[in-house]
Amino acid sequence: MTIDELDARLLELLARHPRITVLEASRRLGVARGTAQARLEKLMARGVIRGFGPDVDPAALGYPVTAFATLEIRQGQGEQVRRHLAGVPEVLELHTITGEGDMLCRLVARSNADLQRVIDRVVGFEGILRSATAIVMENPVPARIIPLVRAAARD
Candidates 71, 115, 122, 149: give the one binding a copy of itself (CB under 8 A): 149
Burial of 115 (0-12, 13-18, 19+ CB in 10 A): buried
- List all residues 6 or more positions away from 82 whose beta carbon is below 8 Å from its beta carbon: 94
90 binds, among DNA, a copy of itself, none (CB under 5 to 8 A by kind): a copy of itself
Candidates 4, 5, 15, 41: give the one binding a copy of itself (CB under 8 A): 15
Asked if residue 72 binds a copy of itself (CB under 8 A), the reply is no
- Are the C-beta atoms of residues 49 and 41 closer than 8 Å to each other? no
CA dihedral 75, 105, 131, 137 (to 10 degrees): 160
Binding to DNA (CB under 7 A) within 28-57 occurs at 30-35, 37-39
Asked if residue 14 binds DNA (CB under 7 A), the reply is no
- Residue 13 CA neighbour count, 13 Å, CB half: 20
2 binds, among DNA, a copy of itself, none (CB under 5 to 8 A by kind): a copy of itself
Residues of the shown chain interacting with DNA in the complex, contacts defined by CB under 7 A: 6, 21-24, 30-35, 37-39
